[in-house]
Structure 1
Amino acid sequence: MAYPDALLSRGERVVVHKHPSWKVLIAPAVWFVVIIAAAFTGAALMRRWEDHVIGWWITAAVAVVLLVLLVLVPFLRWRTEHFVITNHHIFFRTGILNRTEHRIPLIHVQNMQTDVTFLGRLLGYGTLIVESAADQPLTFRNVASLPTVQHTLNQLIMDDRDRYRGGGPGPAPAGPIPATPPLPPAHG
């Protein structure tokens, strides 16, 4: 079962499921080309040596170690980092061997902040900082299509709060209702 399908509550559906922006894969792609080119160049230069076979093995070993550290590990980090918004929660999971996961109910989101650099504006990514009632602010870096994600998250938060107040679609959930001040009457 794909992440986070096993974690969803009844009636909960995934609205946004993202990995970090593709821009985090630029450096590993460049490293891949550089390492392969350097390894082949080194192997070609070693053909003139008497014991070139040992040099080839050393070159291959160094190239494999660098490929794992500079290409494979960043790719796996990108692939295993999930930013998911459902109609009830925000999920964030990261980690290759050890995993860290956060699950924030939308009703507990108190503030959102975005940080978009100039390059982020050009390439369409940014940082989303979410403050909740119980946790320290969580920072989600390299979120692709950040304005769309923020708009979707704002709408889901409002829908979730309306649902808890009993004014949204579907029945109000059982259990305590979070305290919210009453809205003043509209005068027109």
Structure 2
Amino acid sequence: MGSPSGPPFDPDDPDRARRERDTEPIPRIDPDEGPGYGSGPRLSDGPSFSDDAGYGDGPGYAGEGRSGRAWVRDPEAGYLPPEISEEELAGLRADASGATPRRVLPLEDEPSSLVARYLFPTERYRGEWKRHWVHLVTPIIVGIAATFVLGYLSGFLAGQDVGALTTIAVLLWFAVMGWVAWRVADWWYDRFILTNKRVMVVNGIITRRVAMMPLVRVTDMKYEQTPAGRALNYGTFVLESAGQEQALREVKNLPNPNELYLRVVEEMYEPQAVEARLGKEQDEAKADDGA
């Protein structure tokens, strides 16, 4: 019998322990006990590697993310994310001061007869708004000034026994007040309209003007507020479409511009979220009516 191959046994060899460890057989894992086999917890059942379970944020492999909440394991669905209570969601919806953001509500839940004629059947109505009352400041100031000036003038002329001039002053006052009433009526029929497909402006009493812009064509939208606008909560919307001048480019004196701006942007980028929220509100309203 020949001598065994390999180097002779040396008890003082420093590499002997390493060689014995490297040549140890690989142990077999029971399919019913080891992770990733059989009915035991599989590696694919845990949370995926995402920002919520990062490498540097603690025990990511144990199913606990940056929020400190442990994932819940369901025997059928695997690991499920932690549930967030309604109180926590309310905190996320609040702003830094702790107050919930204001909501800009439309005039009516359903389109008025003035607006309904311009909507096609598959279009979903989102709301209509009149311009801010500051739009009437100029005609109201003119009416008040005309009342004082022409009233004083007609009284003075009546004392001078000049009947013709007094009549002219009174007729002039009626003409000014008629112009003021016209401007107020024009403001009442002037509407900014939002649907799920476009924004519109309808105005005019005798000569009706309808301007619209599809939401998919809006390339840029902003609103501007002067110091007076910030104090009284109104602003001017500026809409751009493919760098061209449009009929609906500038809409002045809209109320609650920040909230209205967010509402239009949400309709542009998150229409599914709008549908879900409106559906939930309608269900809650029906439940309240049933109660």
Aligned equivalent of 2:141, options 30, 38, 55: 30
**Separation in 2, partners of 1:153, 1:57:** 52
- AA aligned to 1:126 is G
CA contact 1:127–1:139 (8 Å) conserved in 2: yes
Asked whether the equivalents of residues 93 and 100 of structure 1 are also in contact (C-alpha less than 8 Å), the reply is yes
**Offset, 1:107:** 2.0
Could you say which residue in structure 1 is the equivalent of 2:226?
117
Alignment deviations for residues 71-126 of structure 1 (CA, whole Å, 9 cap, x no partner): 23432332232110112221112334333212222222221021111111001011
User: Quick one: distance in 2 between partners of 1:123 and 1:76?
Assistant: 22
| Greater percentage in helix | 1
Which of 201, 218, 227 is the aligned partner of 1:92?
201
Q: Distance in 1 between matches of 2:237 and 2:157?
A: 50
Q: Which residue of 1 aligns with 2:250?
A: 139
Question: Which of the numbers 59, 78, 81 marks the counterpart of 2:190?
Answer: 81
Instruction: Judge conservation of contact 1:110–1:133 (CA < 8 Å) in 2.
Output: yes
Gap regions ≥5 residues in structure 1? 170-188
Q: How many residues align?
A: 162
Distance in 2 between residues matched to 1:90 and 1:135, nearest whole Å? 17
* Runs of 4+ with deviation above 3 angstroms: none
SS at match of 1:8: coil
Cα deviation, residue 156, structure 1: 0.6
Structure 2 CA distance for partners of 1:101 and 1:135, relative to 1, 3 Å: farther
SS of aligned partner of 1:136:
coil
Identity of aligned residues (%): 19
Q: Deviations over 1:40-76 (max 9, x none)?
A: 21222123223x332221111111222234x234323
Question: How far, CA to CA, are the matches of 1:132 and 1:76 in structure 2?
Answer: 31
Match of 2:24 in 1: none
The structure that is strand-richer by fraction is 1
Equivalent residue letter for 2:184: F
Tell me how far 1:159 sits from its aligned partner. 3.2
- Report how far residue 135 of structure 1 moved: 5.4
**Offset of residue 10 of structure 1:** 2.6
Is 1:48 matched with 2:159?
yes
- The one of 165, 170, 193 aligned to 1:60: 170
User: How far apart, CA to CA, are the structure 2 residues paired with 1:140 and 1:48?
Assistant: 49
CA distance in 1, matches of 2:216, 2:135: 31
Provide the TM-score with structure 2 as the length reference. Answer: 0.50
- Report the Cα offset of residue 134 of structure 1: 8.8
2:269 to 139, 143, 158: 158
What is the distance in 1 between the residues matched to 2:211 and 2:245?
11
Per-residue CA deviation, residues 12-63 of structure 1 (Å, 9 max, x unaligned), is: 333231121101212222222221222221222123223x332221111111
Could you say which residue in structure 2 is the equivalent of 1:126?
235
Could you state the TM-score of these two structures normalised by the residue count of structure 1? 0.74
RMSD: 2.4
Q: Does 1:6 align with 2:87?
A: no
Distance in 2, matches of 1:126 and 1:57, equals 42
Unaligned 5+ runs, structure 2: 1-111, 277-291
Paired amino acid for 2:258: P
The one-letter code matched in structure 2 to 1:122 is A
User: Which is further off, 126-135 or 29-38?
Assistant: 126-135
